[in-house]
Chains A and B, each alone.
Chain A
Amino acid sequence: MTSSLEIATAGQKIDLNRLESILSKYYKRGRDALISVLQEVQVEYGRIPQESIEPIADTLNLFPSEVYGVVTFYPQFSLTPQGKCTIQACRGTTCHVKGADKIISTIENTTKLKEGETSSDLKFTFKTVTCVGTCALAPVMVINNKFLGKLYPKKVADILSQYEKG
């Protein structure tokens, strides 16, 4: 775990000023601000950088291990860099009944990614989620907050090729 992390983030120095400006809003706020801080950091850097964990812990008066524990618990946070395009395929119950497995295998075949992986050029990250709440349009996927419904394999492939082009 640690070693792949180190590889993934090695050599990428993060811009600490951006972290500082997030943290300055939360000084002395304590533990209850932790998840909000992490959400902002995740949006800012597209991940929770290793180097940010100690400063976050210091700001909120926590142990780094506590911050780490929360980061690894919630699926919203990731320690590794995410692709520019995040594809979230729904595998909730309705989507499953309506053939989500075909959608997921189309995404896997087109992007050559397995669930949870990010392409080496940092273009795509592929995740699955359990229900995004547009089940009436199942099967559904979400690409960078855009909801796409009533999917079938060809439609998925077409959409992905558009994103592939940029």
Chain B
Amino acid sequence: MRKDEDMTRLGSVEELNIYRESILAETDPNKICVRICMSGCRAYGAEEIRVAFNEEIKEKGLEDRIEIRKTGCHGFCSRAPVIIVDPKGIFYQQLTVDDVEEVVLETLVKGNIIDRLVYVDLKTGKRFPFTRDIPFYKEQTRNVLRNCGKIDPTNISHYIAQDGYSALTKILSTMSPRQAIEIIEKSGLRGRGGAGFPTGKKWHFAQIADNDTKYLICNASEGDPGSFKDRALLEGDPHLILEGMLVAGYAIGAKAGYIYIKAEYSLAVERLKTAILQAEESGLLGENILGSEFSFEIKVKEGAGTYVCGEETAILEAIEGRRGVPRPRPPFPAQSGLWNKPTNINNVETYANIPSIILNGVDWYSNIGSERSKGTKVLSLTGKINNAGLVEVPIGIPLRKVIFDIGGGIPEGKRFKAIQVGGPPGECIPESLLDSLLDFGSLETSGSTMGSGVIIVMDEDTCMVDIARFFLMLAEDESCGFCSPCRLGTRQMKDILDRIVAGKGEDKDIELLTILERVLKDASLCGYGQTCAIPVLTTIRYFQDEYKAHIHQKMCPVGRCKINYNL
């Protein structure tokens, strides 16, 4: 495959197509390639393993025959560090540096499978040497994540080889902005940042806003604790996000876009900056893209912490250099956003959906998903679950399937207790409701609060009152303090929950919490205050026995809360 240095500025759609063909012609599909995750697996020694592979290959003079590739996340994070060996797709897990020599000699050279490193299904005891057969992967539909774990995210030609930037060339050569928006509208795509607002509609508002200057923002602040899907996408396939933004920029008539990214995501920032530079050098970003009239630039803005800064109007304040406090709406950003110009804001995963919709069309896309919500959703599946990791499924899948088939159930033979879905504004869902379908909305509307796609699994050792208290502690901490219902309400609720877990709860507390939740919902300025007490509401609804045990019997049923018996 070509090196980046060969890359010259592409002056037309035709030149990009020729370039893609030349990359493909030079690619040997049967070449042995070790794909090593350089995202999450780094926390478990993946970098050291990569170095060991490189040294081993060099020492044995195999550099021409074998490629060691740095990729994004393979998804199966609980088995970290993970490698996949092409062309057969052999899956090795929990590797150490000590395994490397054997992998090179046995698998890469002789083609043998090393049993010890193969995934064994916990339920059936069956061995699965190949990625495609492993139940964790088999039940997924990987569209947005299709390149994640496959390509080297620091090499633009890898992305181009996978039909990258074809959606851009398609709209540039065959579509008006209006037509592009129509496709997104008809596809049924809804925003993946949490609220599920129809994306095409949002673009339409920004497009009809009458102004010569418009902006685009990619929301990469990923504030929901437990969520890492945006990070994985940015680290594993950054050009996909750039391409999605380019399509959006073309559609609404913006010339500049910002990616507002969480402070802790330094690797993602690095990957993005590399990708932007490569795209600029290739003529895929900047002035007169691929020789067309369309010009677009993208800048990365690093956030400085705080959860509320993920709210869209707070992002506007932060990019303008102010305290990240939400603005009252209306006016909506589509009318008056960044520097009072019409601005379109979408989540990372929303942009990541765009290229495939443009390329494969409305019918293809709307065949995936539920009645109300089309496409797939990337989930961050963690907690007390065997197969923790990054998962992509069609919207509308039963939650039970996600937890027990893909997720492989609860470790150590423990009993399932609940899942918390959708981050801080999400519901705590008990076993009896696990047949609900993954969707936007809430359990009352026969969906679940899918939100940003965080699923945290809790087992019998988890105290649900403690979980409610945890979310309120977070809420109190992260409340920006601007409006009083949120600032004071979260504090009051947290104090009550503190009392309950300390064994000082009173009869009236449950009712008081319910009332306060309603006040927050009705009177807070932004979505944060309005939704941050939902975990309390749903734990009261589904796990009231646990509250009552703390309040009346002064005991924590799972023995987690340290109740003071001297009371």
In the complex, what distance in Å separates the CA atom of A39 from the CA atom of B179? Answer: 42
In the complex, what distance in Å separates the CA atom of A149 from the CA atom of B420? Answer: 22
29 CB < 8 A contacts A-B: A31-B322, A32-B320, A32-B321, A33-B321, A36-B301, A60-B321, A73-B306, A75-B304, A76-B304, A92-B226, A93-B423, A93-B424, A93-B454, A93-B456, A97-B383, A97-B384, A130-B225, A130-B478, A131-B223, A133-B227, A133-B231, A134-B77, A135-B226, A135-B227, A135-B380, A135-B382, A136-B390, A137-B40, A137-B44
In the complex, what distance in Å separates the CA atom of A138 from the CA atom of B383? Answer: 8
CB distance from A150 to the nearest CB of B (A): 7
Q: Does A129 contact B (CB under 8 A)?
A: yes
CB distance from A88 to the nearest CB of B (A): 8
B301-348 at interface with A (beta carbon < 8 Å): 301-302, 304-307, 318-324
Closest to A32 in B: B321
Q: Are A140 and B43 in contact (CB under 8 A)?
A: yes
In the complex, what distance in Å separates the CA atom of A33 from the CA atom of B80? Answer: 39
Q: Which residues of B contact A129 (CB under 8 A)?
A: 264
- Interface size, chain B (Cβ < 8 Å): 55
Q: Are B322 and A148 in contact (CB under 8 A)?
A: no
Q: Are B265 and A39 in contact (CB under 8 A)?
A: no
Q: Which residues of A contact B324 (CB under 8 A)?
A: 73-74
Q: Does A147 contact B (CB under 8 A)?
A: yes
Q: Are A97 and B228 in contact (CB under 8 A)?
A: no
Q: Are B321 and A136 in contact (CB under 8 A)?
A: no
Q: Are A97 and B77 in contact (CB under 8 A)?
A: no
Decide: A76 near B470, CB < 8 A? Known: A34-B321, A136-B40, A147-B43.
no
Q: Are A148 and B305 in contact (CB under 8 A)?
A: no
CB distance from B236 to the nearest CB of A (A): 13
Q: Does B222 contact A (CB under 8 A)?
A: yes
Q: Are B307 and A35 in contact (CB under 8 A)?
A: no
Interface string of B470-507 (1 = CB under 8 A from A): 11001001100000000000000000000000000000
Q: Are B321 and A70 in contact (CB under 8 A)?
A: yes
Decide: A93 near B323, CB < 8 A? Known: A76-B305, A98-B384.
no
Q: Does B263 contact A (CB under 8 A)?
A: yes
CB distance from A135 to the nearest CB of B (A): 4
Decide: A94 near B304, CB < 8 A? Known: A35-B318, A130-B474.
no
Q: Are A94 and B226 in contact (CB under 8 A)?
A: yes
Q: Which 8 A-B pairs have the closest CB atoms?
A: A136-B77, A92-B225, A74-B304, A131-B225, A147-B43, A34-B321, A75-B305, A76-B304
Q: Does A77 contact B (CB under 8 A)?
A: yes
Closest to B381 in A: A136
Q: Does A145 contact B (CB under 8 A)?
A: yes
Q: Does A84 contact B (CB under 8 A)?
A: no
In the complex, what distance in Å separates the CA atom of A138 from the CA atom of B222? Answer: 17
Q: Does B425 contact A (CB under 8 A)?
A: no
Q: Which residues of B contact A96 (CB under 8 A)?
A: 467, 470
- Interface size, chain A (Cβ < 8 Å): 41
Closest to B79 in A: A136
Q: Which of B's residues lie within 8 Å of A, judged by CB? A: 40, 42-44, 77-78, 80, 222-228, 231, 262-266, 301-302, 304-307, 318-324, 380-384, 388-390, 420, 423-424, 454, 456-458, 462, 467, 470-471, 474, 477-478
CB distance from B239 to the nearest CB of A (A): 20
Q: Does A87 contact B (CB under 8 A)?
A: no
Interface centre among A69, A92, A133 (most CB of B within 10 A): A133
Q: Are A74 and B305 in contact (CB under 8 A)?
A: yes
Q: Does A38 contact B (CB under 8 A)?
A: yes
Q: Are A77 and B382 in contact (CB under 8 A)?
A: no
The contact of A77 among B224, B302, B304, B390, by CB within 8 Å, is: B304
CB distance from B526 to the nearest CB of A (A): 16
A12-34 at interface with B (beta carbon < 8 Å): 30-34
Q: Are A31 and B382 in contact (CB under 8 A)?
A: no
Q: Does A5 contact B (CB under 8 A)?
A: no
A75-111 at interface with B (beta carbon < 8 Å): 75-77, 92-98
Closest to B76 in A: A136
The contact of B382 among A33, A34, A69, A94, by CB within 8 Å, is: A94
Decide: A70 near B43, CB < 8 A? Known: A97-B383, A131-B227.
no
Beyond A74-B304, A93-B423, 15 additional pairs, beta carbon < 8 A: A31-B320, A32-B321, A34-B321, A35-B304, A35-B321, A73-B306, A73-B323, A92-B225, A94-B383, A131-B224, A133-B222, A133-B227, A133-B231, A137-B40, A148-B43
Q: Are A136 and B318 in contact (CB under 8 A)?
A: no
Q: Which residues of A contact B420 (CB under 8 A)?
A: 93
Q: Does A132 contact B (CB under 8 A)?
A: yes
Q: Are B470 and A93 in contact (CB under 8 A)?
A: yes
Decide: A70 near B77, CB < 8 A? Known: A130-B478, A133-B231, A138-B382.
no
Q: Are A93 and B304 in contact (CB under 8 A)?
A: no
Q: Are A98 and B383 in contact (CB under 8 A)?
A: yes
Q: Are A134 and B319 in contact (CB under 8 A)?
A: no
